[in-house]
Amino acid sequence: MKAFEAVQHYFNSAADVLGLSDELRTLLATPEREITVQLPVEMDDGRLVSLIGYRVQHNRVRGPMKGGLRYHHEVDLDEVRSLASLMTWKTAVVNIPFGGAKGGVTVDSRAISSREKERITRKFVDEIHELIGPDKDIPAPDMGTDHEVMAWFVNQYNKYEGFNPAVVTGKPVEAYGIPGREEATGRGVGILTIKSLGRLGYKVPGATIAVQGFGNVGSHAAKFLSEAECKVVAVSDLSGGYYNPEGLDIMQVVRYSREHGNSLAGFPGAKAITNDDLLELDVVVLIPAALGGVITTENADRIRAKLIVEAANMPVRPDADDLLAARDITILPDVLANAGGVTVSYFEWAQNRQFYQWNLNRVRGELDHMLSTAFEQVWDLAVEHKVTLRTAAYMVGIQRVALAAKLAGLTS
């Protein structure tokens, strides 16, 4: 099943419970606009290479479209389309006034220099600046892009459209960014893991946790949860997994990673395991925070966690989702679990429109409030309709987008 088909599968499961008409399904599922652009870029050695960039604008009925910009060698139109539609449901689940979009350039971000990355970014803006903007479509960082890329993006956009930092979020704090954006997704994962443990009747102190991926999201989630006295027993990154049944000292892991070029390779004080082993550990909570598609029909039977919190986008394949549900393993779905990032992006956009800098306490307080509200709504709906949390989350999102489409006169 390809990526967009997978999102459609979840969309249709929720649409069935809601009894949505075929006409409305087609309206809500179809992207509004798909842009493919050619990016001829000069590399440092003088070669001219022609890259392909995408921006899919899925739905704008609830507000300007919002979604990251990914630089990765596996980026293609289907992946961008799936992630754009996921953003429509995610922004609606947490009830921020945005639609959904996503962008990407097919390039290996680790194989290009910083100057090459800058030229790719500026060329991409050259091609799409008329189609984006603070009231139209607001990109943000994703895999392979960061606050530096966003600063180049704004600078290039301003040359065409005039000064307007609200055109992207995830900017450096010193250049119209917001404090707390970097930690936001991982912090949100932590907040919602604790709430889920409470609803499932587990004690938070001592709850065992395994985290796959120790980048931005995984490291901040692990830090938040260890500060809440959970026992983080395993972490991993591209170099492999590190397991200590007594619990890892997460600040030591963070320091080690920082001092070793963002790699955990050779981390002492823990048993080396594989990324596959980590997924199958006997823990209360499993947090996949690296890649999509890591839990499949191949390994679903061997998953021993009681709760899976989807920090990454689509880490569980749809057919594995059914197997896990049949085994009563609770999944907190990506559209809710990792929505902390886009929520603080919304605060950044609002801050830019007000030209008033928010402080960290305000960001954290409002993030907690918005995620907690969404969590309670989704959990209660799941209980009421006896459906999974994923179906309930899609139901919340779809209902909000459908109502907005109706009020706008787009459907009867």
Ligand X SMILES: NC(=O)c1ccc[n+]([C@@H]2O[C@H](COP(=O)([O-])OP(=O)(O)OC[C@H]3O[C@@H](n4cnc5c(N)ncnc54)[C@H](O)[C@@H]3O)[C@@H](O)[C@H]2O)c1
Catalytic residues, by residue number, are 102
Cβ proximity of 273 and 298 under 8 Å: no
User: What pairs with residue 51 in β-bridges?
Assistant: 39
113 is in an annotated binding site: no
Shortest distance in whole angstroms from residue 223 CB to ligand X: 13
Options 106, 216, 352, 388; binder of ligand X; rule CB under 6 A? 216
Options 213, 284, 324, 352; binder of ligand X; rule CB under 6 A? 213
Report if residue 145 touches ligand X, rule: CB under 6 A.
no
Cβ proximity of 295 and 288 under 8 Å: yes
Strand order of the sheet with strand 33-42? 33-42, 48-59, 99-106, 65-72, 137-141
Shortest distance in whole angstroms from residue 97 CB to ligand X: 19
Question: Closest residue to ligand X, Cβ-based?
Answer: 215
The three-state DSSP-derived secondary structure of 253-307 is HHHHHHHCCCCCCCCCCCEEECHHHHHCCCCCEEEECCCCCCECCCCHHHCCCCE
Closer of 291 and 405 to ligand X (Cβ): 291
C-alpha distances (whole Å) from 26 to each of 2, 5, 15, 30, 309 are 19, 14, 11, 6, 30
373 is in an annotated binding site: no
Q: Which of residues 113-142 bind ligand X (CB under 6 A)?
A: 142
Which residue bears the tokens 């604008």? 57
For residue 70, what are its two tokens? 């990914």
345 is in an annotated binding site: yes
Q: Which of residues 334-393 bind ligand X (CB under 6 A)?
A: 338, 341
Contact track, ligand X, 268-307, x by CB under 6 A: -------x-------------xxx----------------
For residue 258, what are its two tokens? 């920082």
Stretch that binds ligand X, among 160-168, 235-243, 350-358, 369-377 (CB under 6 A): 235-243
Report if residue 94 touches ligand X, rule: CB under 6 A.
no
Closer of 217 and 387 to ligand X (Cβ): 217
Work out the number of other CB atoms within 10 angstroms of the CB of residue 203: 11
Which residue bears the tokens 């998953």? 303
Report if residue 180 touches ligand X, rule: CB under 6 A.
no
Give the H/E segment covering residue 90: helix 77-93
216 is in an annotated binding site: yes
Shortest distance in whole angstroms from residue 184 CB to ligand X: 7
Closer of 196 and 313 to ligand X (Cβ): 313
Closer of 308 and 387 to ligand X (Cβ): 308
Options 29, 149, 168, 217; binder of ligand X; rule CB under 6 A? 217
85 is in an annotated binding site: no
Shortest distance in whole angstroms from residue 275 CB to ligand X: 4
- CA 283-303-334 angle, 5° bins: 85
Report if residue 79 touches ligand X, rule: CB under 6 A.
no
Closer of 14 and 189 to ligand X (Cβ): 189
Q: Which of residues 47-76 bind ligand X (CB under 6 A)?
A: none
Options 79, 116, 118, 237; binder of ligand X; rule CB under 6 A? 237
Distance CA 326, CA 308 (A): 14
Burial class (CB in 10 A: 0-12, 13-18, 19+), 367: buried
Report if residue 238 touches ligand X, rule: CB under 6 A.
yes
Cβ proximity of 93 and 72 under 8 Å: no
Strands, E, within 60-89: which ranges? 65-72
Report if residue 152 touches ligand X, rule: CB under 6 A.
no
Residues that bind ligand X (CB under 6 A): 142-143, 185, 212-218, 236-238, 275, 289-291, 311-313, 338, 341
